[in-house]
Structure 1
Amino acid sequence: MKKGKRRHKLWIGMAAAVVLLNAAAWNSTAFCDAYIAWIFPVWVNTYGRITGLFPFSVGEWMIVAGLVLLGCAFVLAPAAALAVCIPLPAFRRIRGKCLGMVKGFYVFFIWTLLIVCLVMTLNCFILYHASTFSEKYFGERGSEAEGTYTANELILLYNEIAEKCNTLSRQVERDEQGRIVYPGGLLENGEIGTMEEKAIEIMKQLGETYPQLDGYYPSPKPLFFSDFICQQYMQGYYFPFSMEANYNDVMYILNKPACMCHELAHLRGYIYEDEANFISYLACIQSDDIYFQYSGYLSVLPYVSNDIYALQETKSSAEWDVYPIRLYEQVYEDDVFVTQEEWDRINGKAIFDTETVDQVSDAFVDTTLRVNRVEDGMVSYSRVVKLLLQYQRIQAGQEEGSGW
């Protein structure tokens, strides 16, 4: 009896901690900033190192275990009720044992649920209410660079990205079929490292400019269920409950460098997708690896291109001083999520229809973002264009010696 009361008090305490932490996060940016600066890195350096010892994605299998646990919870409740209601003498002998096992299961289930809520609060929900990347590092320069951007600024940004893509598309190594082959990245110690090692290195290098990005990074991990992730049209996931950066191992290779850096950015406290996109872009284009550079430019090209298309529908080209340059055909071929061969293989053995999986995934991600005060949901990914334009203005101001 005493054990049960003590357990209930612990449950109430954990639930109260979750509520209070979320309330503090929603009402105090300073609290969130301090948490990210001093507490959040502790989880990455401890728990992240432990899960990093495993060569596979721990979080991915945690999700599988969670789904099994949830399924059992739904099945056992009516089964237990049925056992209580059946008056047959044969069932009376085992009824007590069965109910004891069911009770034990639900005690475990409640513990698991509370721990998940607490971990998600500490490693995800609080991060949504901290200062943004631009507020933290652009400061007054960022405020001055905000506002309405002209058509010419957008086109100049597009042209810079497009020109880099055109150039890099002819420099990367390819196989006989024209597909990109990554030979490994040259690390600072002079050795040839893996793509994962290179991603960690360039993120640490970016941390020299933006200190919050400095620190320990666990190695990005490929997802075992990458085929299913393809059906969601997702490149990767940050798992707060395992402190892991995960990437889709089936998608076209050129997506992987930027994706790895994007997911690693989440591990430094930048949970917003547009900020992770921007950080990934900066890390990639400032690296000495042409594959990462190409991946970085390609990762933002669709977002900027979409804004160019929208611009063409609202403003006459007669008002422009500059015009978008043409992309090489090779860039269009490289800008692919999954090759057609892989799509044929995935759809040929898929249990669920890809369109249905994509719709459910989009609805889930969109709802999750909106619940965490990201009012435009999945559209927030495209806000990276605003950050790119803001950064472009700041860079231009620095070059002109304007005092920015």
Structure 2
Amino acid sequence: MWRKKTAWLVLLGLAIFIKIFSLFPDAVERYYASGFYPVISKVQRILFGWLPFSVGDIFYALIIIWLIRTLYRTIRRVVKKQTNKKYWLQALAQLGFIVLVVYVAFNLLWGMNYNRRGVAYQLGLKVERYSKEDLIHVMQQVVVRLNALDSPSRVNREGLLRKRNLFNGATAAYDQLARKEGQFTYSFSSVKPSLYSYLGNYLGYTGYYNPFSGEAQVNTTVPLFVQPFTTCHEIGHQLGYAKENEANFAGYLSARSSQDALFRYSVYFDLYSYSRYYLYAQDSLAAKLLDAQLPPGIKTDYRELREFVKKYRNPIEEVIDHLYGQYLKANNQPGGKLTYNEVVAWLVAYYKKFGKEAI
């Protein structure tokens, strides 16, 4: 009995400490994001990165099996009228204990990064509201990049069918970036194809990070030109950039540093989509004028992506989208799923500080 009480006290103490500590972004940045987390994440990648399959995906599968089994047993006991007040109190206590374990483990292993200062602080960027003119200036540079990369990015696109080329390419991109910005140093690679890639097409995800195993998983069934930026985005999560706009910006900085034209094309392709979302809402004519400057090949890629998304659209995806949006809001991202698009504000801030050649 005393062991259970001790475990409860330890977990409650850790949970309270985590909650209070998270209120101080400077401390989180210094002691957790730049201190404890890099060590624990490297240990995770050393332990599991060498395995050819995703340990985290297997872990999730076991959890789902356990939940189904527990639900089945509970329903059977209810039907057979084998439950009483004591049973439900014990079940509630067990559930509370599990929630505490998950909360503490999640935050210690990665989740505290949601409360750090982050990449804007590291790069000295002033992220603020931007004008339509600022947005158009940035998008014009993105269009220039896309036009220049259209042909080179198609030379060896099928090479990404070998996933090792994709993952090695993303690692090399971060190596290039780290030569200028040391905080993006990525060692002990642990990026793998998701075991649930086809399921991801129906649930609407292209990749995800597993904080319990330190692995980055990529949906390798989506169009090839999407995968490089997704991979760089997930490595951004591994480096401790938890918020989606930050992971997108880390993915942008790394992919644009790549010597592979397809990686650079992939990131500008996504950035144009994110930017166009906001510009079209303000000035649809300006957005269409920029669209007209894109070469036929890029327009073909956009059509392919739209058809791919349309093919797998289903009611469950809408539910998952809503739940995931709520998860993001609960983790210091009030914009929900639009947080991904907020990378545009970071891009404008980067443009203002370093000029158009930096885009």
How far residue 389 of structure 1 moved from its aligned partner, in angstroms, is 0.7
Match of 1:125 in 2: 111
> Are the aligned partners of 2:49 and 2:188 in contact in 1 as well (CA < 8 Å)?
no
Match of 2:230 in 1: 259
- Unaligned 5+ runs, structure 2: none
Match of 2:330 in 1: 371
Matched to 1:393, the amino acid is: K
Q: 1:358 and 2:317 equivalent?
A: yes
Change (3 A) 1:287 1:239: same
Matched to 1:5, the amino acid is: W
Match among 315, 329, 333 for residue 296 of structure 2:
329
Match of 1:380 in 2: 339
Q: 1:228 and 2:195 equivalent?
A: no
> Are the aligned partners of 2:324 and 2:337 in contact in 1 as well (CA < 8 Å)?
yes
Change (3 A) 1:83 1:311: closer
Match among 145, 149, 152 for residue 171 of structure 1:
152
Q: State the distance in 2 between where 1:65 and 1:337 align.
A: 35
Larger mean CA deviation between 37-46 and 116-125 belongs to 116-125
Match among 55, 63, 76 for residue 66 of structure 1:
63
The structure that is helix-richer by fraction is: 2
> Are the aligned partners of 1:213 and 1:268 in contact in 2 as well (CA < 8 Å)?
yes
Q: State the distance in 2 between where 1:364 and 1:376 align.
A: 13
How far residue 113 of structure 1 moved from its aligned partner, in angstroms, is 4.8
Q: State the distance in 1 between where 2:301 and 2:189 align.
A: 28
Structure 2 matches for 1:5-404, cutoff 5 A? 5-25=2-22, 27-33=23-29, 34-80=31-77, 85=82, 113-138=99-124, 142-143=125-126, 146-173=127-154, 180-182=157-159, 194-312=165-283, 324=290, 326-335=293-302, 354-396=313-355
Q: TM-score, normalised by structure 2?
A: 0.86
Q: State the distance in 2 between where 1:237 and 1:106 align.
A: 30
Listed one character per residue, the Cα deviations across residues 33-60 of structure 1 (whole Å, up to 9, x for unaligned) are 1201110012111122212132112212
How far residue 220 of structure 1 moved from its aligned partner, in angstroms, is 1.4
Matched to 1:154, the amino acid is: L
The aligned length equals 349
How far residue 366 of structure 1 moved from its aligned partner, in angstroms, is 0.5
How far residue 302 of structure 1 moved from its aligned partner, in angstroms, is 0.4
Listed one character per residue, the Cα deviations across residues 122-167 of structure 1 (whole Å, up to 9, x for unaligned) are 13331111103112211xxx33xx5453433322211211122122
- Unaligned 5+ runs, structure 1: 87-98, 186-192, 318-322, 348-353, 400-404
How far residue 381 of structure 1 moved from its aligned partner, in angstroms, is 1.0
Q: State the distance in 2 between where 1:184 and 1:209 align.
A: 30
Change (3 A) 1:217 1:309: farther
Listed one character per residue, the Cα deviations across residues 283-308 of structure 1 (whole Å, up to 9, x for unaligned) are 11121111111111112110111222
Larger radius of gyration: 1
> Are the aligned partners of 1:197 and 1:219 in contact in 2 as well (CA < 8 Å)?
no
> Are the aligned partners of 1:51 and 1:242 in contact in 2 as well (CA < 8 Å)?
yes
Q: TM-score, normalised by structure 1?
A: 0.77
Report % sequence identity: 21
Q: State the distance in 2 between where 1:75 and 1:15 align.
A: 30
What root-mean-square deviation, in Å, do the aligned CA atoms of Structure 1 and Structure 2 show?
Answer: 3.2
> Are the aligned partners of 2:50 and 2:190 in contact in 1 as well (CA < 8 Å)?
no
How far residue 333 of structure 1 moved from its aligned partner, in angstroms, is 1.6
Matched to 2:195, the amino acid is: F
